[in-house]
Structure 1
């Protein structure tokens, strides 16, 4: 993932950040508010390491998966729906209402 994803969806990454850096404090993350330089400095202080080392740790962390809150962002929905068309059979429409397939009311 890119830092832009993190910056645009900062609070959605709190769980991933605290999972990687358990000592991270949510109130301090609120203050950082997606600022990459501030985050590098924060992690360097938290881990008692040089900024370059913290930057490398963060770069490694960025190779992970996007949190589901980011993936499920409504801004991505239409593109995801359009991409799903390749998995549908001939004559099916990716924008059709799912309820007509009978599985929404099943108990």
Structure 2
């Protein structure tokens, strides 16, 4: 799993420690941002890419974030290339898929 820090913007707010990456077992790009420090659950305000093959392309993730009012900034070209390279590799089915738990 790759993880890179980006700036996430929403309604004049900025989360300079939002995380974007590629989850190899789920075969999806993901985005997490605006994690409350005082929350008991520490669940992010936005957390995309939690299901199998939910966002198979980086573009689909960015588009979904935009539809929810979030803009991603500060993603370095080298990080983007590394994520795309990881996503472009052949991935074997996960244990859950092989056992029929995930379809």
TM-score w.r.t. structure 1 length?
0.25
Larger Rg: 1
**Larger helix proportion of the pair:** 1
**Larger strand proportion of the pair:** 2
